[in-house]
Structure 1
Amino acid sequence: MAAADGVLTGWSVGEHTHEGVSHRTYRRGSGPGVIVIHEIPGITPSVAAFADEVVAAGYTVVMPSLFGTPGAPFSGAAVARSLTRACVSREFTILALGETSPIAGWLRDLARELHAELGGPGVGALGMCFTGGFALAMMVEPAVVAPVLAQPSLPFPVSPARAADVNLSPADLEVVRRRARDGHQVLGVCYRSDRAVGTRFQTLTSELGDAFVRVELDGSGHSTLTEQRDQGAVDRVLAFFDDHLRG
């Protein structure tokens, strides 16, 4: 079935279910698999435009719709609605320290299924802002070999401890550390002055060492790949996918 949501025309609509939880998915392209997880407020035109760039670079892109109206434009009202929905959902941990958001299990299963279908060295995963850390949590799944964290913002940095937290349980963090020691890299992208990211890039450097590839941009923007898009950041993400998914 083809999507009829304006900017998502040409994308195939599906649904993924894991442990009784279902979310709509949008799929397009061919080649190695990449899961693009939208930011607040949802799959906006700029998120879809970035995903189209990944498709054009030669990848099969799957975008789950976790909240918001797919294809709707970015607006303050849309942000407020999606944030309210996300904050009361049991799928996301907003302020908790040392916990993995439950949605990670669903996303890992999606990655596992996509890799089983497409084969190759594994799949990529990219999260943005509210969902930025979800790509790191997906790294617990061996099928995920190219995780990208674009301005990860959970838990909300309302205290120094939360600003440094990477939204993972101790057990999941140990798996990520082990995979990093085994040679798997994580790419992080943010604007250097973005307070929403807190100090978690420093945490990731401390925990993962050189396996954490840290890209910090000049300027005062937030959404590195979408609303305040930086072409250099987009190019680094595509190069990272190329390095790790075309082996």
Structure 2
Amino acid sequence: MPTQDVTKDDTLEDFAVREITLEGESKRVFVSGEGPAVIVMTEMPGISPHVARFARWVREAGFTVYMPSLFGRDGALPDADEGAAVFRRACVSAEFRAFGAGVTAPVTIWLRSLARLAHQECGGPGVGAIGMCFTGNFALSMTLEPSVLAPVLSQPSLPLDVPGGLDISDEDLKAVRKRLDKDNLTVLGYRFAGDQVCRAERFVALSQALGDRFDGRTLPDSAANPSAPPFFAKHVPFPHSVVTAHLIDEAGQPTLKARDEIIGFFGERLGVG
């Protein structure tokens, strides 16, 4: 798999930049690769070099990556102040509903349409989707779209004010559970044990709602990369980003194993590898 310098801004020049209009809304989407589609949703504070590195790993494993720009400067490695400003804007955006449990984020309607479009364009049995941090639970809501077969929740952090809450309505959650049972699907989840944003209560809530359809995996804090980018070093001073900012890119590391498990999950569900 390719190596990428994650200590400076990423030009993203190996991705095609598309302006995609769905549900009356236009968003920039970075697309690259061949094979079945995987929607990679960025963590806070945007499509960082670490998020792009993960997207490239998925691409090199035989998938077409669709990486929508949802907030922040695309490809940037922002300093702590810029990252905090992006976070504050996203928190008050009606698209995301950062606070309060039991409500489905409106942006997931657009993301479900993106999954449908990606499946039409790429073919295969269906689509994979991974949300991270701020977008973590979005992959759960996206399973309401029939083409989504492989949902992954990496450190799902919303709602910010209810540790045991889920940012999905009760009605949608029931529909998700019904769909998982009907199509024999599993939702894969990852977090660090000491994550203060995606706490253990969230995985308990997911297990209670989805039963054995939720496969939640918790990594020890010792597995997290202690050398975090500026935004994380100041504002997220604890293990958090499993396959991006806190991943240790060395053989035998638990975070690298988690990356391989996720890519393997996509492959198993989408018929790659």
Give me the TM-score of the superposition, normalised by structure 1: 0.93
Tell me, which stretches of 5 or more residues in structure 2 are unaligned?
Answer: 1-8, 222-237, 248-254
In 2, distance between residues paired with 1:50 and 1:30?
A: 16
In 2, distance between residues paired with 1:237 and 1:75?
A: 29
Tell me, which stretches of 5 or more residues in structure 1 are unaligned?
Answer: none
Between stretches 16-25 and 64-73, larger displacement belongs to 16-25
> For 1:10-159, what aligned pairs fall within 5 Å after superposition?
10-156=14-160, 158=161
Query: Which runs of structure 1 show a deviation greater than 3 angstroms over 4 or more consecutive aligned residues?
Result: none
In 2, distance between residues paired with 1:6 and 1:128?
A: 19
**SS of equivalent residue, structure 1 residue 22:** strand
Between stretches 190-199 and 54-63, larger displacement belongs to 190-199
In 2, distance between residues paired with 1:151 and 1:29?
A: 26
Between stretches 74-83 and 108-117, larger displacement belongs to 74-83
RMSD: 1.3
Between stretches 201-210 and 31-40, larger displacement belongs to 201-210
User: Do the aligned partners of 1:14 and 1:26 also contact (CA within 8 Å) in 2?
Assistant: yes
- The aligned counterpart of 1:202 is 204
In 1, distance between residues paired with 2:91 and 2:79?
A: 18
Aligned residues: 239
Amino acid aligned to 2:115? A
Amino acid aligned to 1:180? L
User: Do the aligned partners of 2:35 and 2:124 also contact (CA within 8 Å) in 1?
Assistant: no
> Following TM superposition, by how much is the alpha carbon of 1:74 offset from its aligned partner in structure 2, in angstroms?
4.0
2:12 paired with 1:8: yes
> Following TM superposition, by how much is the alpha carbon of 1:38 offset from its aligned partner in structure 2, in angstroms?
0.3
User: Do the aligned partners of 1:12 and 1:27 also contact (CA within 8 Å) in 2?
Assistant: yes
In 2, distance between residues paired with 1:25 and 1:72?
A: 15
> Following TM superposition, by how much is the alpha carbon of 1:17 offset from its aligned partner in structure 2, in angstroms?
1.6
2:163 paired with 1:163: yes
**SS of equivalent residue, structure 1 residue 121:** coil
> Following TM superposition, by how much is the alpha carbon of 1:104 offset from its aligned partner in structure 2, in angstroms?
0.4
In 1, distance between residues paired with 2:143 and 2:243?
A: 21
User: Do the aligned partners of 1:124 and 1:245 also contact (CA within 8 Å) in 2?
Assistant: yes
